[in-house]
Structures are given as structure tokens and as C-alpha cells.
Amino acid sequence: MRKRRIRNEALWRTEIMHGRRDFCWLAKQVQNKNIITYYLDDGKKTAVTETIEREMPLLFKEIRRSGSPDASIAFLPGDEAALGTEGYRIGETEAGYKIESASPVGYLYGMYGLHRLLTTQNEAGFPYESVPDQSIRMIDHWDNFDGSIERGYAGESLFYDHNTFRGDMELIRQYARLLASVGINGVLINNVNVHRPETFFVTGKALAEIRKISDVLAAYGIKTYLSVNFAAPITVGQLKSADPLEPEVALWWEETVKRIYEEIPDFAGFVVKADSEGEPGPFTYGRNHDEGANMLARAAGLYGGVIIWRCFVYDCSQDWWNREADRARAAYDIFEPLDGRFLDNVILQIKNGPIDFQIREPVSPLFGALKKTNQILEFQITQEYTGHQRDICYLVPMWKETMDFDTKHGIGLTVKEAVRENSPVCGRSGIAGVGNVGMDANWTGSKLAQANLYGFGRLVWNHELSAEAIAEEWVRQSFCLTEEKCGKLAAILTTSRDVYEAYTCPLGVGFMCKPAVHYGVDIDGYEYDRWGTYHYADRDGVGRDRTVKTGTSYTRQYSDARFSEYEDLSSCPDELLLFFHHVPYTHVLHSGKTVIQHIYDTHFEGVERVREYQAVWESLKDSLDEGSYLNMKERLVWQLENAVSWRDQVNTYFYRKSGIPDEKGRKIYQ
């Protein structure tokens, strides 16, 4: 029998009563505030207001007193013009607090917001107003019906188990609670690679199960999306073709969508990965992507649904010897010419970088260039290329960097603005993250990887928060530490992206990891393969030449200002140098170091930093719960092994290629 997870409310409460900590940031009840009553007086009950009623005693300690309560939380109607449909304002009253919002879901967010403020000693004070910066704030699950999760590092799927729906609604409710507490309002429940069993999700029996999931999520203000297979009319509908311009194909989708909405009236829409990594798509029929997406959008549009169409489209059978073919160019080459040709319920979902979720990539040139198309920016929360939830890698600094990046299209158009402002329908734009949870008792496998899920939600809701502030918030909500220790733990998080980059990926080169697995070092693993991700190291130098002058011309996909910056060796930022240029090992960086010395230094330093993390973690031992302490202690051992093997292989490899010794004389295996 499967071991039951330690995750139910009763246990949360028991644990708190015994002064022990639990596995997530909502475990702390607000105490000593004498919050005893709440008034939710908006006339009618909804699934969301019922959720609020259930949640209140979990979050706030209930102390019943005789007579009229002297502390309370009142929920009052708020001003929609200022707060929108999801925002809230919290103020103090003589009797306690008031939460104003124009909708039940705003109250829900306000309740979690108040809990956060009171458990993190936030200095913002009251009144406190919060309105989300993006409309769609979404988690994408790459979960398969057999229970496995593509690129999942925290156990099996919450939703599926051996080709059945797991049916653990209480677990899904707890997950929805976590997500709503950080403002997530959409969940894609199946893998974008839609294998045969999931292709049938759009049919009767499965829909009844999906409806149950969707109902639970909806009670937390979360909408449900499904990934569909573009060839479903053939697989499911027994048609001969899935050509988007064939009337019978369009009709099949119309009927299919109708059935879905009959079962799930508030269904959000489809996510589609087409013509990518073996998935079928419009190209199969000589059609373009607007034709494919618009055909589905017409069907979904009848019910208010959307089509999220992914731009992760590239030729994964590239000839590695063909220096002109450049995978980085693909998304822009395909989608930029289609700008303005999509219906207004189509949203293009664009990965943060042009290749694939590496620890360091430039920002996708589609941001800022697409001006007449709804857009979603896609991040990866699950640590596929960033340490598999074994190595610590807090990703919020990287996401923040992407969102704040000035595309220099127009006057100061950052990515976060471009996503929202360049989308014709603002409510149909936003940010998605590929989720990192599974059946593991602490949700994310690595305790510290929780900070990525938490941080994703917080940052996507409020773009002004710093990565440091979010890390501290999460630490305060998850542990009971002194100020000093809280600072130490938050510092591990906030430096961890740089450390992971230091021992893995020099100067933006990327993809020196083990093929398929994407963890551990294999410098030439992808070098002579079909996937289009090459470092071009030879005896004279390293890096991919993507310039107009001598390379693949990828640089030209950016705005004029960014183009000049990247094209010119003297202005290209060090951290992206090898992404854009092929340079000799003796090339001197802006930092003053040569490329080869930079490679040696960062790989030696990366390992030392991991050793420091181990020491800090040991120093926190007595202040941590045993489970969390052991969880990360074990992972830090793995991380050190990983960092050492990256250091030794990368340094040896480049020493052999270049023949240039380390100027500090450290040990490099030969």
C-alpha cells in the first residue's frame, strides 16, 4: 500500500500544537492576534466563499469569546475600478482587519495576503493594496496519464496513477490551496506532449473525472486547461486527416469543444504543442500555425475559451555540420511574420529564451517584436536543466532578470510590459511556469525547491518584489529562525543560481549536460547530434557565432539597439558571450579575465561555494525540523558530487583543447 502523505489539515494543526513545523508556507497559524470572527457578508455563497470559510480557522487562530468579538476580519465590497476583479485592499479596523475586494476570489487572495503579512513581519503596513500585474498566472503540468511526469523530480503525478485518475480530491484541494495562496489562477493538467491515452481526455468518461478536478480548483479561483493533440481528429475522431482547413476537421473540434463545455462550463481552454519534437501540427498539412490555431480558436471561442499555442517549434533533426541552421532562430522565424493574424482568443506561449530553459540564455527576441498578438511568457519551475531538485537553484533571480529586460523596442519596453501591453486583449496575456510538484511528501522533492513555486506565484502577481524579498518571505513562512539565520538561509537561495551557472555553464554556452537526462556533465553529449545545441569548441576557441557578419544572423532578430549590442564583440555582455560569438580562449572579457581563465575560475569557485552551503546548512541544523534538515543535507552531498564532476570534466576538456594552463596552478586532471 502506498504510504499516506503527511499532509492533511488535522496533522498540520497537530504539528503546530506540538510546536513542530510542517512542509509548507501555509502551516503557520496566525497566533496572538486574537482574530476570532470574520464577516463574509456579500449576500450569496459561492464555492470560493465556502473555501474562505473553511480556510479561516486554518490560517488564523480561533479564540471564541463571550459577547461581541474584539478582533475580527471583515470582508467588505471593494472598488472594482481600483482593484479590478482579483485585487484586494487590507486595512486595520478597531476590531481587527478589513479586506475589501470586488469579488470573492479577491477576498480569497486578501485572506492569504493578510496571513502572509502577519506571518512575515512585512513592513509594508496597512492599508495594504495589491492588484495582480498579469492576468493569466498559470502552472503547466507535464503529467502523463500513467502517473509519470515529464521532467518531474518530486515523485509521481498528483492527478494520475497507472492510467487512471488518482481521484485524491483532498490532495488536489491542498495543492489548489497552495497555488491560490500565491495568486495562481490557471492550471494545465496534462503534458504538452499528448500521448495516446491523454488524447482521449477530450471524450466522455475522462471529462467526468476532469470535471471533478476542475471543480476543486475552481473553488480556489483556478481555471483548468487541457493539452490536446493536434491529430486528435484522426486518433479519436477516426477522420482521415487533421488538416485545419478541412471542414470536417473543424466540425469535429466544434463538437468536441461543445461536449467539453457541457461537462465543464467554466473550462478555460486548450494548450497546444504543434509541429515540435515529433508532435503533429499544421505543417504536416502544408498549413501555417495561424491556420491551425485559429481553427481551434473558432471552436473554443463559441464558449469563451482560449487556445494557448506554444512557440516552441523548431526542427529537431538539424544537420550539425550545417552552420547556417540555427535552432535559436526558429520561433521568431516562424511566428514573427504571423503577428496580427491570430484570432483574439489565441495566446502565443513563448519560452523565456530562444533555445530551451537553460541556466543562462538571452531573452527570446519575440518579446517586443510581437505587437498584435496575445502572449504568455513561459518559465520552467521544475529544474530540468537547473539541477533536478537535487542541486539548489532558486530561479526567481533569473525570472526577474527576464521580466525586467528592456527589449529596446520603443521607449523602454521591458518583457513584463511587452507581454501585457502588446497583447490586444490584456486579460488574455500573462505568465506560465512548468510546475515542480509531485507526490513527494514535501511537494517538491527538495525542500528548498518549494521556494521556486512560491516565488513564481509571488513574482508573477507582483513584479515589484525583489528576488531577495521573496526568498526571505518564504523562509520566514516555512521555518522559525532568528533574523541572522533567516538571512543565512535566504542568502543560500539568492546566490544559488549564480553558483549553479558557475560550475555548469560558462558564458552562456549551454547544453553541456547529459543528453535526454539533462543532469550531470557531458560536454560533447549534444555536440554532434541532431538537436541544434552546439558549443563549437575546437583547439582555437569556443562559442556559437550568431552574428550577421560571420554567423547565423540570429542577432538581427532583436531591436536595433539590442542587435548592435550583441553583434559587436566589444559590447556583448560577458555572460552571453559564447551564445553569440565564437572567440579564442585568450579573448579578454570585460571582467579583465581571459575566456579560459574564466572557465577555470568559475568551475573551481562553484565547487567551493557548494562546500560553503554545506557548512551553512550544518550551522542551521538545530533550528530546523529534522525532515527539512536531512532532506537538504542529502541533496547537498549530491550537489557537491555533481559540481566536482562538472568542474573536473569541464576544466580538463578545455585545458586539453586549449593547451593553456590555469594561471593559478590549481589541479586540472589531464
The residues carrying an active-site annotation are: 277, 356, 384
Q: Binding of ligand BDP at residue 140 (CB under 6 A)?
A: no
CB of 232 to ligand BDP, least distance (A): 18
In the list 34, 46, 148, 193, the residue contacting ligand BDP (rule: CB under 6 A) is 193
* CA 635/CA 214 separation, integer angstroms: 35
CB of 301 to ligand BDP, least distance (A): 25
What Rg do the C-alpha atoms of the chain give, in angstroms? 25
Sequence-ordered strand ranges (E) for 299-426: 306-310, 346-351, 374-380
CB of 136 to ligand BDP, least distance (A): 18
Q: Binding of ligand BDP at residue 312 (CB under 6 A)?
A: yes
Sequence-ordered strand ranges (E) for 488-599: 541-542, 583-584
76, β-bridge pairs: 100
Question: What would the x/- binding string for ligand BDP be over residues 501 to 520, using CB under 6 A?
Answer: --------------------
For ligand BDP, give the closer residue by CB, 380 or 414: 380
Q: Which helix or strand (DSSP H or E) is residue 431 part of?
A: strand 430-434
CB of 346 to ligand BDP, least distance (A): 18
SS3 of residue 409 by DSSP: coil
CB of 310 to ligand BDP, least distance (A): 7
Question: What would the x/- binding string for ligand BDP be over residues 98 to 137, using CB under 6 A?
Answer: ----------------------------------------
Q: What is the number of the residue whose Cβ is closest to ligand BDP?
A: 356
Sheet of 96-101, strand order: 37-40, 72-77, 96-101, 88-93, 128-130
Alpha helices in 242-285 (DSSP H): 247-263
For ligand BDP, give the closer residue by CB, 273 or 635: 273
Residue 464 carries which side chain, given as an amino acid letter? E
Site size with ligand BDP, rule: CB under 6 A: 10
Q: Binding of ligand BDP at residue 290 (CB under 6 A)?
A: no
CB of 132 to ligand BDP, least distance (A): 25
Peptide bond into 282 cis (omega under 30): no
In the list 61, 151, 556, 633, the residue contacting ligand BDP (rule: CB under 6 A) is 151
Question: What would the x/- binding string for ligand BDP be over residues 353 to 382, using CB under 6 A?
Answer: ---xx-------------------------
CA-to-CA dists, residue 655 to 116, 134, 227, 609, 670, angstroms: 51, 47, 46, 22, 8
CA-to-CA dists, residue 633 to 474, 618, 659, angstroms: 19, 8, 38
For ligand BDP, give the closer residue by CB, 271 or 415: 271
CB of 273 to ligand BDP, least distance (A): 5
Question: What would the x/- binding string for ligand BDP be over residues 255 to 284, using CB under 6 A?
Answer: ------------------x---x-------
Residue 204 CB neighbours (<10 A): 9
For ligand BDP, give the closer residue by CB, 300 or 434: 434
For ligand BDP, give the closer residue by CB, 360 or 582: 360
Q: Binding of ligand BDP at residue 150 (CB under 6 A)?
A: yes
For ligand BDP, give the closer residue by CB, 357 or 503: 357
Q: DSSP secondary structure string, 133-180? A: S-SEEEEE--B-TTS-BTT--SSS-SSEETTEE---HHHHHHHHHHHH
For ligand BDP, give the closer residue by CB, 129 or 529: 529
- Tell me if 275 sits within 8 A of 242, measured CB to CB: no
Phi, psi (rounded to 5 degrees) for 117: -60, -40
- Comparing CA positions, the residue from 209, 228, 176 lying closest to residue 435 is 176
CB of 192 to ligand BDP, least distance (A): 5
137 torsion bin: left (phi>0), alpha (psi -120 to 50), beta (else): beta
CA-to-CA dists, residue 8 to 17, 22, 173, 212, 416, angstroms: 14, 11, 10, 19, 37
Question: What would the x/- binding string for ligand BDP be over residues 384 to 403, using CB under 6 A?
Answer: x-------------------
How is residue 479 written as a grid cell?
Answer: 521555518
For ligand BDP, give the closer residue by CB, 112 or 357: 357
Site residues (vs ligand BDP, CB under 6 A): 150-151, 192-193, 273, 277, 312, 356-357, 384
